[in-house]
Amino acid sequence: MDITTLIRSIKPLDAKSQKQARIRQDNLTKPKGSLGRLEDLSIQLAGIYRTAAPKITKKAIFTMAADHGVCAEGISAYPPEVTAQMVLNFASGGAAINVLGRHVGADVIVVDMGVASDISWPSSIVSKKVRKGTRNMMREPAMTSSEASDAIMHGAELGINAAENGYDLIGIGDMGIGNTTAASALTAVFTGRPVAEVTGRGTGIDEDGLLKKIKVVEEVINLRRPDPSRPLDVLQRVGGLEIAGMAGVIIGAASRGVPIVLDGFISSSSALIAAGLAPESKSYMIASHRSVEKGHRAILDYLGLEPILDLRMRLGEGTGAALAMNIIEASCKILNEMATFESAGVSQKDGG
């Protein structure tokens, strides 16, 4: 299996199923369009699942963790060792994503893509470590091209395996101190927006810290000169291992006809990579929420994705994806379980 084969196997959404779903939506006991995004989601899912009666039975969220060498430039409010500490917190079920995963009935799968630690993880942690964190991209490219490719393929394999094990709704989330710096660089490169417009406070840096972070991202882009027409090149120069892994999950899941629920800023930056490599994968993406991170809106606008929620969140981990899953599932139930005007014996408005 290689990435090119996977990309070619991603099918366009099934127009016939979508048309049938739209006809049914328009005949349910409600004014046409009155359920807004719920109707749109159900029609998107009909196209993804290739059936006019889409149903969700098993949900998973991949929380992918890795460290970032650029932390050596002092761009984070937290020390790098927090990444490994949080992975242990995930393993013990004490993090926000664990709580929300349980709440919505989604299995949380934590993956070490590149945590800079020699800790022996509990068996619940999936190890796909490519290397112990990226290199400091102020000094050299974040990773080699082979490391970037390996990380994407590890993610793709996880997405494929999840689909083959019956998961029909997959969310992605992240953990990695310093990863908003990488995401800001990716966002500026792909969207063409000024760095200052897409770089936020991350874990909570002050004004001086923000100005320093913006300067670091600007210098990184000037030094590394990533080419947006070559997504793998951009990832290799200014990306992150967990970002690569999430991009792989998107491509792998889409290749098996499974929708992917994006979380916030970091996971959406991985969607930039996935969409660049596999444009058809964008049809399989669902934006769960809009983060308060400045760059997230730029990514969603660039990809043409409308978020379901806006709760002023900026945690990551997959928390927004978890919360959106119940709404996504509800869209299917509305389509399948709601009565039509004919079956309920309810009169439609004049003219249909």
In a domain, 256, yes or no: yes
pLDDT over threshold 70, residue 191 = yes
DSSP state of 114: E
pLDDT tens profile 226-271: 999 999 999 999 999 999 999 999 999 999 999 999 999 999 999 9
pLDDT tens profile 144-158: 999 999 999 999 999
Average pLDDT for 174-201? 97
In a domain, 121, yes or no: yes
Torsional sign, CA 290, 292, 297, 300: negative
In a domain, 79, yes or no: yes
Q: What's the domain range around 242?
A: 59-329
In a domain, 345, yes or no: no
Q: What is the pTM of this model?
A: 0.96
The residues that are catalytic are 317
In a domain, 26, yes or no: no
Choose the weakest-confidence range: 113-117, 164-168, 204-208, 322-326. Answer: 204-208
pLDDT confidence of residue 351: 53
User: Cβ of 47: how many Cβ atoms within 10 Å?
Assistant: 25
| Chain centroid, CA 284 distance in Å | 11
- What is the H or E stretch that residue 298 is in? helix 294-303
In a domain, 9, yes or no: no
> How far is 178 from 69, CA to CA, in rounded Å?
8
- What is the H or E stretch that residue 218 is in? helix 207-224
In a domain, 254, yes or no: yes
| Count of domains observed in the chain | 1
In a domain, 78, yes or no: yes
CATH number for position 271: 3.40.50.10210
